[in-house]
Structure 1
Amino acid sequence: MARSEINRSGEMEVFVCVVERGGFSAAARVCRMTPSAVSKLVTRLEARLGARLVNRSTRAFQLTPEGCAFYERATRILADIADAERGVGAGEQPVGRIRLNTSASYATHILSPILPEFLDLYPGVTLDLVQTDMVVDLLAERTDVAVRAGPLKSSSLVARKLGDTALVIAAAPSYLARLGEPKTLEDLEQHNRLGFGYVRTVDGWPMRKGAETVIIPAVGRVQASDGEALRRLALNGVGLARLAAFTVHEDLAAGRLVRVLEHLNPGDREAFHAIYIGQGGPLPSRVRALLDFLAEKGPVA
């Protein structure tokens, strides 16, 4: 088939539909095609690309690594085409779905309060929100943007700083009433230091010791997978937790939590970044709109 006869965008639309609907039959209903026609189209696409995109079986549908890469690029190309068409007649108003992966703490204390404003500004955009503190594969998880805290590892991904926050050690009054308030680093040995259940870039609590900063291990009887879980544990008097200030601002003001060892706080701040695939290339307008909005409203506490 001559290059001019290939409807590449049409092929991409069908393939993207197959991926997002989870199979040929479901995609066929949406695309108003037969399952056989959809399957043949994907087979022709694979033959032209010289790579298998989908592993097929009677019970499972799974993208290959090449299929994941093609899906990610195809969705962005289709989004750019849609943006170009809308730009002619609709003023480039962003539309479409954004899959955002972030921590429970960021989603609860930063995103949720500002989300109504974003949705009002961009009525054509829908948001698919996934909450986890663990690092995810953006391509495998079909994620447009991930918001993460802490130092960034070098990678092929693009990062945009959204802001930063102070960190504080806090405990519930009920916990301090039972075990007393620690005044020195040595006192921490007698306390339940709540920590994360996975390895972090700084695996412990930075604390001042004279003119130096030392790392105190967060060794306690309870670990958690995300910062919001640690906050709830601290609120319930389980132990001490070192948390982002924006997550406990209201708890501290209301007296539900109390700052501990603030005189030994080294004053370090934790940066938040939006991470996305793109390597500096053009982004769909809906993703650009979200990034600009989050940067304007970024965590500062």
Structure 2
Amino acid sequence: MDNRAGEMEVFVAAAELQSFSAAGRRLGLSPSAVSKLITRIEDRLGTRLLVRSTRIVTPTPEGEIYLARAKRVLSEITDIEQLISSGGKVVPRGPLRINASLGFGERYLLPLVPDFLALYPEVELDISLTDGVIALIEERTDIAIRSGAMNDSALKARKLLESRRVIIASPSYVEAHGIPRNPHDLARHNCLTFNFQRRLNEWPFQNEGTGDIYRLPVTGNTSVNSGLVMKQLCLSGTGLGRVGRFHVQREIEAGLLFPVLEDFNPGDMEVIHAVYAGHEHLAARVRAFIDFLAARLAGEAKPSAEKLNQAENDSKSA
């Protein structure tokens, strides 16, 4: 009888534990039985999935892909069984691996973790914060929270929030260096840049007379790889930066930062998505987390009209 789900369970155990012996102890099998089952899968697929050494076994690139998909299949089987046994209601449970940018993680994700776990105590969160782009399947990640356009058509995305980009300055920077009154004044200012995407270092502006959009290259003495780091440098008075407003909304409302050159702002948006591998039967824990984030972030990064107008008036009168 074909028992591919059972074979997948053996493979997952061997790959995660990096040992046929340890996998056998977990599943009540001998090391030789584990080895034979893995070999059966490899023979059927016609490719090597695990590299054996005297001490450990490690997945090949093909093995990493098989591991991620096998875990998803086994998770779906568990969800189906829970659905039937619980009378049609699945309780989200199990490990959930999330990757988010530093800025989003600090501003939104981490403060919401206690509330999510209070609602779903059987979910086990594994959170990584990095501004580097990751490959979901290869990194065994369930959800990545990122800004920008989607490049992988195999992935699905749900918009969580959008935020207008702004150029920001601190009172201490303006006191020392003055305030730019038009975009061409930036040639005399220290404009902080990003070191991972050149496009972000050509700041767009709108012509007041014609409404046309044009871009100006900017330069400065410091480059960073994170919106969170950019915010901290702007707060310290190091220079001017351009980020999504969600990064700095609290600091703007507190008077620690303020927007500049708003009359020339083209209104371009930084859009944040929850990105995940799309398939028909999304694991309950993945769906629950995305729904939770979308609900909690609805209306975020949209400051009240009173606060927005006050901040913009402050920037013009500075």
Q: TM-score, normalised by structure 2?
A: 0.86
Which one of 89, 97, 107 corresponds to residue 85 of structure 2? Answer: 89
Which residue does the alignment assign to 1:254?
254
Q: CA deviation at 1:248?
A: 0.9
Q: CA deviation at 1:235?
A: 1.2
CA contact (8 A) 1:165 1:246 kept: yes
**Quick check: 1:72 aligned with 2:73?**
no
Q: For residue 113 of structure 1, what is the amino acid of its counterpart?
A: P
CA contact (8 A) 2:92 2:122 kept: yes
Q: CA deviation at 1:254?
A: 1.5
Q: For residue 159 of structure 2, what is the amino acid of its counterpart?
A: K
Q: CA deviation at 1:57?
A: 2.9
CA contact (8 A) 1:151 1:201 kept: no
Q: For residue 106 of structure 1, what is the amino acid of its counterpart?
A: F
Q: CA deviation at 1:256?
A: 1.5
* CA distance in structure 1 between the partners assigned to 2:104 and 2:96 by the alignment: 17
Which residue does the alignment assign to 1:56?
52
Matches within 5 A, 1:262-273: 262-273=262-273
Q: CA deviation at 1:61?
A: 4.3
SS class of match (1:297): helix
Q: For residue 301 of structure 2, what is the amino acid of its counterpart?
A: V
Q: For residue 288 of structure 2, what is the amino acid of its counterpart?
A: A
Matches within 5 A, 1:11-50: 11-50=7-46
Which residue does the alignment assign to 1:283?
282
CA contact (8 A) 1:104 1:133 kept: yes
* CA distance in structure 2 between the partners assigned to 1:35 and 1:174 by the alignment: 66
* CA distance in structure 1 between the partners assigned to 2:77 and 2:217 by the alignment: 51
CA RMSD across the alignment: 2.0
Q: CA deviation at 1:220?
A: 1.6
Superimposed CA distance per residue, residues 17-51 of structure 1 (whole angstroms, 9 cap, x where no aligned partner) = 22233443443443344444433321222123322
Change (3 A) 1:36 1:81: same
SS class of match (1:46): helix
Which residue does the alignment assign to 1:166?
164
- Structure with bigger RCO (C-alpha 8 Å, 6+ apart): 1
* CA distance in structure 1 between the partners assigned to 2:277 and 2:229 by the alignment: 29
* CA distance in structure 2 between the partners assigned to 1:178 and 1:169 by the alignment: 17
Which residue does the alignment assign to 1:191?
189
SS class of match (1:170): strand
**Quick check: 1:223 aligned with 2:223?**
yes
**Structure 1 runs of 4+ off > 4 angstroms?**
200-203
Which one of 96, 108, 111 corresponds to residue 110 of structure 1? Answer: 108
Change (3 A) 1:82 1:213: same
Task: State how many pairs are aligned.
Answer: 296
* CA distance in structure 1 between the partners assigned to 2:154 and 2:175 by the alignment: 49
Q: Identity, % of aligned pairs?
A: 44
Q: For residue 20 of structure 2, what is the amino acid of its counterpart?
A: F
CA contact (8 A) 1:99 1:145 kept: yes
Q: CA deviation at 1:93?
A: 0.3
CA contact (8 A) 1:150 1:201 kept: no
Which residue does the alignment assign to 1:296?
295
Change (3 A) 1:30 1:216: farther
Q: For residue 142 of structure 1, what is the amino acid of its counterpart?
A: R
Q: CA deviation at 1:300?
A: 3.3
Q: CA deviation at 1:142?
A: 0.7
